[in-house]
Every structure is written in C-alpha cells, then in structure tokens.
Amino acid sequence: MTLICKNKVYVLIILVISTFYISAQENNEKQLNGVNFVKVSNRIDTSGQPPKELLKNFADKKYDLVINLAPPLANGSVLEEGGLVAQSGTKYVNIPVDWKNPTEQDFNFFSAVLNTTGHNKVLVHCQINMRGSLFTFLYRVIHENIDPSQAHEKMTLVWEPTDQWLKFAQSILDKHKIDYELL
C-alpha cells in the first residue's frame, strides 16, 4: 500500500472514531441532564426534570446556577432538589410558574436572576422543558438581543407553544416591542 493510501486510511479511521466519540458524548450529556435537554448557548442549557442522581453531582457538570421553573410539588419533582443541588456547591433558585397562568412577574423574576449571573453557566429546567425553553427563548430575545428566529429554533426542539403559553409569550414580546409572531 502506498504512503498516500495509508494516510487516507488513517484519516478515515480517525474521522470514524471522532464521530462515534462526539456522538457518544452528546448522547451521554442528554441522558445526564434529563428529559428534552437542549444546549441553548455556551452559557445556558435547558431540560426537563434532572434525575435525583444527577442533582447530587451538579458541581461535576460545571453549572453555577440551577433555575427550576416548576412548582415544588409538581408531578415528577424531586422534593429535596434545592438541598441536593446546594450540597454540590451549585446555587439553586425555584420560580414556581403556574402552568395554567404564567405571568409577567414570573418572567421578570427569571430575567432578574439570569441578569445577576453574568457569564456563569446556568441550567434552566422544569418538568419537561416547556416552561424552561419558552422563558429562555424570551430572555435571549429581550435581554441578549438574539434574533428571534434563531432563539425560536432552540425552543422548537422541545415544543411549539399553544393556548395560554402562546398568548403569554406574545404579550411579553409585544411589551418589549419585539416584532415577531410565534405562529
């Protein structure tokens, strides 16, 4: 076999191994972070409820803050979540957003918390990443000046808001004079 052919074979082997390695890492990251995990940006990830085992080791995930948007007694919640996360050295904030009635006050509090974190790594979660992905969409568009279409793509990896959530999101966008229709 000529030297050029050997080099091509080595490059091909390296590409195949790299692809499997990257795919395995991404799959592992999704499993570790719970349901509907989305890497939104270098700073913010969103997901559904992380498993209890992960909550004990959040410092290993390099999150500086966890924001939980589900009420503490919501179906599937981990009652001791705040304590488990805090014991790992990660800050924890629970903003219990009512599924049937999200409010501007909820979003303003969420925004204020995120605005105080600077460039620190944050996980935003709720039960299945519907509240989390929508609040993060709004935050990125309003406070980080991300193009709404780009931010919307990340949210639609999880869902497309309907009913009260569509009205809520549109009202927040309109209040901030963001010319973007969710539907």
The reply to whether 15 and 90 lie within a common domain is no
The reply to whether 92 and 113 lie within a common domain is yes
CATH of the domain at 146: 3.90.190.10
Query: What tens digit of pLDDT does each residue of 47-60 get?
Result: 999 999 888 877 77
The reply to whether 10 and 100 lie within a common domain is no
Query: What tens digit of pLDDT does each residue of 103-135 get?
Result: 999 999 999 999 999 999 999 999 999 999 999
Is the residue at 180 inside a domain?
A: no
Into how many domains does the chain fold?
A: 2
Q: Are 96 and 72 in contact (CB under 8 A)?
A: yes
Q: What is the pTM (predicted TM-score) of this model?
A: 0.82
Residue % of the chain over a pLDDT of 70? 81
Question: For position 33, what pLDDT does the model report?
Answer: 55
CA distances from 55 to 3, 82, 113, 136 (A): 51, 9, 20, 21
The reply to whether 62 and 18 lie within a common domain is no
Residue 58: DSSP 8-state: G
Query: What tens digit of pLDDT does each residue of 14-64 get?
Result: 433 433 333 334 444 444 456 899 999 999 999 999 999 888 877 777 899
Query: What tens digit of pLDDT does each residue of 135-167 get?
Result: 999 999 999 999 999 999 999 999 999 999 999
Confidence of residue 183 (pLDDT cuts 50, 70, 90): confident
CA distances from 81 to 17, 65, 103 (A): 37, 13, 24
Cross-strand bridge partners of residue 105: none
Domain of residue 7 covers: 1-32
